[in-house]
Chains A and B, each alone.
Chain A
Amino acid sequence: EVQLMESGGGLVQPGGSLRLSCAASGFTFSDHYMDWVRQAPGKGLEWVGRSKTKFNSYITEYGASVKGRFTISRDDSKKSLFLQMNSLKTEDTAVYYCAREMGATLRGKSGYYFDSWGPGTLVTVSA
């Protein structure tokens, strides 16, 4: 059974930093792209970014609102994904989810989706 568990959330002041972790089990972690998705209180889902696999040179990609401030990394030996968040703003307040990304081409269309999610960890940015 695929399991993802985030940790590291908490209260931080604007301008501060925080590092989130996601521990994975139940699947071959190193074979999968892994993503962070966040959800501000009462709002919708927002993609934060992804870490590709070693085969894809561990390339990372980010959403526009976090690019340059957040850094995603992974440790395949520990089956863990990380999110380093710097220069935090009040609008970064959200539940942060770790998600396993799956990609395929079916019926002539390519696509990527999230088949497993962790329960999330709350990050509150406030003075």
Chain B
Amino acid sequence: SYVLTQPPSVSVAPGKTASITCGGNNIGSKSVHWYQQKPGQAPVMVIYFDSDRPSGIPERFSGSNSGNTATLTISRVEAGDEADYFCQVWDSDSDHNVVFGGGTKLTVL
């Protein structure tokens, strides 16, 4: 089955830029979606189809996807961005055709 690999944790100072990666075999050929989850809350989609933002998501959130790595970038990080972030793809070749990455805990220093 298809595997998505995320770093367990990323730390960033307020006002700086955070980059969270999601690795997978030829992930650039798939569409990648990103979710933010704060403690005790349901996930919220922040990026879909690699780089599109749903309405209501700040422009500070952006995404890219190429080769074997997709990246969620959060610019001008705020304390309220501290959360877990999960990437997700649809793998048409797998029984587990919805695949999530293991998640990355973003800590704002």
Contact = CB atoms under 8 A, between A and B. Distances in A.
B98 A47 contact: yes
Contacts of B50: 107, 109
Nearest to A103: B90
A44 B98 CA distance: 13
Given A44-B100, A44-B103, A111-B33, A117 B48 contact: no
Interface string A90-109: 00000001000010101101
Q: Is the interface of B mostly helix, strand, loop or mixed?
A: loop
B100 A117 contact: no
A57 interface: no
14 contacts: A37-B98, A44-B100, A45-B88, A50-B98, A63-B96, A109-B31, A109-B49, A111-B49, A113-B33, A113-B90, A117-B43, A117-B44, A118-B42, A119-B42
B104 to A, nearest CB: 10
Contacts of B97: 61
Interface of A: 35, 37, 44-47, 50, 61, 63-64, 97, 102, 104, 106-107, 109-115, 117-120
A96 to B, nearest CB: 11
Given A45-B103, A117-B42, A112 B96 contact: no
Contacts of A63: 95-96, 98
A87 to B, nearest CB: 19
A75 B80 CA distance: 38
B99 interface: yes
Nearest to B94: A64
Contacts of B44: 117
A104 B49 contact: yes
